[in-house]
Structure 1
Amino acid sequence: MADKDQQQVYPVVREAKNDDVESATVDSKELRKKKRLKCLAYVAAFAVFQTGIILIFVLTIMKIRTPKFRVRSATFESFEVGTPENPSFNLKMDAQLGVKNANFGNYKFHNSTIVFFYDNTPVGEAVVRNTKAGWRSTKKLNVVVDLSSRDLPSNMQLGNDISSGLLTLNTRSRLNGKVQLIFIFKKNKSIDMDCTLTINLAEKALRGISCK
């Protein structure tokens, strides 16, 4: 009888062990699944982060902006102006120009010419030497130009300007060059200058500068 009782107990013990094994197997599978999901979440988050960094890089650093070319200031080495009845001017001006480069790379440009106009007639010009504007900086250039009314057609406008005490000149120029980003990418960029200078005749000084 004792042997029979023992034989009846054994199957119950084996079923309990089987249940424990199955439970452990299920727990192990769930754990592995959670780990895989966590890894996938990390990979997805990293991919989103990298995409954001690339977009910022492309939209800011890699974006090529057009530099700006302006007259910054001017002084006069000589200053001769006629009268309203006999209008004329002969000026020697030392002008400081600026090439503002907002790119993450140099802007190299070729030789150019800046022309000064009175009433759409050229009254002087100067050479702008080739050089470069560095990363996110302004390159300052100085040019000396002789401004004379000798080639102006006869008209009353200059006499009126001398009478008012203000002489208005326009400057125009174009720079042709290349923007080089991070020593790799290059793109041709041409920039135009179109500035208006107002000269105070009584003070023999530049009163104002306006650039488009």
Structure 2
Amino acid sequence: MEVESLRGKSEKSPMEQPNSSDAARVLRNRRKWRTISFTVIGVLVFIILLVVILAFTAFKAKRPVTTIDDVSLRDLRFSVNLARLQVLLNATFHVNISITNPNKVGFKFKDSNAELSYRDQQVGEVPIPAGKISADQTVPMNLTLTLMADRLISDAKFFSDVMSGELPLSARTEIPGKVNVMNMFRIRVVSTSSCDFTVYLFNSSVGDQNCQYKTQF
């Protein structure tokens, strides 16, 4: 009986050795894939954190600014008929604006326009075509605005302003666009500028310019 028992043990041991070897191999493979998975997850987390940090530091969206650099008279003609209390006025203005993009990425803006107003009443308009401004770039634009005098006839203050020789006007631009940060974050912005100025009719000049600039995300 003892001989058979020993013989049985010797017959079983070769079968048990491969089973324990397979289990060890499976365990090693699990550890290997677990290590690879943790490594991949760690790399992805690092990349995501890096992108977020860059998006809010070096590539943080900044406010593009539109400025009205100068408003000047190109042409002015006016006459006053005191008997009929009528004013004939034709005026054309040069408006020089510049759009500055302080971002590290490009700024795309849509079609917009520049408006000329007299006492909050629009009396002129010129289109500003859509475009793109590269990173850290300033683009100048030269616009021509024509005053539509027929819109001023009905204003009660127009005649008295002309008689005083000082015509209060304002120029305004509103340029909507977006900043695309690393092709992941698209931030919409609206850059607005406005300038109040006075046209001195008797010497055909422009003065008292007061400008304000605003950008909204």
- Determine helix, strand or coil for the equivalent of 2:159: helix
For the pair 1:83 / 2:80, whether they are aligned, the reply is yes
Q: Deviations over 1:6-25 (max 9, x none)?
A: xxxxxxxxxxxxxxxxxxxx
Matches within 5 A, 1:132-211: 132-181=132-181, 185-211=185-211
Percent of pairs with identical residues: 21
Letter in 1 for 2:130: N
Q: Is the 8 A contact 1:84 1:158 kept in 2?
A: no
Question: Displaced runs of 4+ in structure 1, greater than 6 A?
Answer: none
- Aligned positions, number: 160
Q: Which residue of 2 aligns with 1:66?
A: 63
- Determine helix, strand or coil for the equivalent of 1:203: coil
Deviates more, 1:130-139 or 1:105-114: 130-139
Task: Indicate how the Cα distance of structure 1 residues 182 and 119 shifts in structure 2: closer, same or farther if over 3 A, else same.
Answer: same
What is the distance in 1 between the residues matched to 2:151 and 2:199? 20
Letter in 1 for 2:166: L
What is the distance in 2 between the residues matched to 1:206 and 1:60? 43
Cα RMSD of the aligned pairs, angstroms, is: 2.8
Task: Indicate how the Cα distance of structure 1 residues 56 and 87 shifts in structure 2: closer, same or farther if over 3 A, else same.
Answer: farther
Q: Deviations over 1:7-61 (max 9, x none)?
A: xxxxxxxxxxxxxxxxxxxxxxxxxxxxxxxxxxxxxxxxxxxxxxx99966653
Q: Which residue of 1 aligns with 2:28?
A: none
Length-normalised TM-score, structure 2: 0.62
Q: Is the 8 A contact 2:59 2:105 kept in 1?
A: no
Structure with max Cα Rg: 1
What is the distance in 2 between the residues matched to 1:124 and 1:145? 6
Shift of 1:172: 2.9
Q: Which residue of 1 aligns with 2:4?
A: none
Q: Is the 8 A contact 1:109 1:176 kept in 2?
A: yes
Structure 1 residue ranges without an equivalent (≥5) = 1-53
Shift of 1:129: 1.4
What is the distance in 1 between the residues matched to 2:65 and 2:130? 16
